Structures are given as structure tokens and as C-alpha cells.
Amino acid sequence: MDINNIIQNFGFPVACVIGCGWFIFRMYTDSTKQSAERESKNYEMLSKFQVSIDKFADVLEGYEQKLTVIERDVKDIKDVVNK
């Protein structure tokens, strides 16, 4: 349907309302689509960060175990030196 036909059949104000409605509808659908894509990317990044955090927690646990061993060794050395 041509814009001139709409203006001739319904008048200029009605044609403007139809045009504005179409524009708002397009803007809303594009915004919704972009939001869905952005949300999907955010969930993907969050899952990657969760994997990284889990790996980091494992590394920290290993360092904690090594530190405990070192503390015991230092305590044993202190006991030997102080005798």
C-alpha cells in the first residue's frame, strides 16, 4: 500500500498515526531482539567466568595445602633449633 493512497483514503492525521505506530512497533521489536542477544551473550560470559573461578579456586586450594606443609616444616625446624 502506497503512502499517497493512505493519505487520500484516511487523511493526513490518520496516516501520521499509522506511520508513528509502525515506527514504534519496529523500534520495540528491534530493541527486544537486541536485548535478547545481549542477554544471551551475558549468560555465555557468566558461564565462562564461572569455569575460570572454579579453576582459580582449585589453584588456591592447592596453594593452601602447600602453605600448610611449609608451616609444619617451619614449626619443626623451630622446634629443632630451640632445643
More confident residue, 70 or 5: 70
Q: Which element (helix H / strand E) includes 28? A: helix 12-82
pLDDT at 83: 74
Predicted structure pTM score: 0.52
Map out the domains of the chain as residue ranges. 3-82
Instruction: State residue 22's pLDDT score.
Output: 94
pLDDT at 79: 86
- Confidence (pLDDT) at 14: 86
Q: What is the pLDDT of residues 8-63, one digit of tens each?
A: 888 888 888 988 999 999 999 999 999 999 999 999 999 888 888 889 999 999 99
Q: Provide the residue type at 33 as one letter.
A: K
- Measured from the Cβ of residue 6, the count of other Cβ atoms closer than 10 Å reads 16
